[in-house]
Amino acid sequence: MNAFDVSQLTDLAQVAAQLAHQVKPGDVVFLEGDLGMGKTTFTQHFIQSMGVKEHVKSPTYTLFETYTHDEQTMVHMDLYRLADPEELLYLGIEDILNGHNIVLIEWPEKGQDILPSPQWRLQFSGNMSNRTLTITSQ
């Protein structure tokens, strides 16, 4: 377990770039923490660090967005609006979690019992001026 002070956006970007070097194909990353804590911002930096040039938008309404660079596909999910974990089955979660894609999931608690346990758990905590990101790999 590692805790990082990410009170500055530049720190958050740096941690995202570091993690992008450690994550392996097929890994699932949970991003946990309140609204506005930086989950989407972190994912944007992470995906850009993987070489993606296009704009990484928040998947709040679409539930997921897919990006590919150098034959590596990354899927960014935001389950905030999911009413029932079973909706994941209709979204094609089995194709998303195909063992090769890197899958980053905001609000994973909304997909309880359907989602596998993740290789990485990121917990965003603190307040507007003092933010901590705790990373656990398992």
When asked if residue 6 is in the footprint of ligand ADP (CB under 6 A), the reply is: yes
Q: Which stretch binds ligand ADP (CB under 6 A): 7-15, 17-25, 49-57, 114-122?
A: 7-15
When asked if residue 110 is in the footprint of Mg ion (CB under 5 A), the reply is: no
Q: Which stretch binds ligand ADP (CB under 6 A): 1-9, 19-27, 66-74, 114-122?
A: 1-9
What per-residue string of b and e applies to 3-19 under the rule 16 or more CB within 10 Å gives b?
A: ebebeeeeebbebbeeb
When asked if residue 1 is in the footprint of ligand ADP (CB under 6 A), the reply is: no
Q: For residues 54 and 63, what is the distance between their CA atoms, to the nearest angstrom? A: 18
Residue choice 16, 39, 114, 115 for contact with ligand ADP (CB under 6 A): 39
Residue choice 16, 30, 41, 88 for contact with ligand ADP (CB under 6 A): 41
| Main-chain dihedrals φ then ψ at residue 106, nearest 5 degrees | -85, 145
One-letter amino acid identity for 91?
L
* Residue 134 zone, left/alpha/beta (φ > 0; ψ -120 to 50; rest): beta
When asked if residue 37 is in the footprint of ligand ADP (CB under 6 A), the reply is: yes
Measured from the CB of residue 70, what is the shortest distance to Mg ion in angstroms? 26
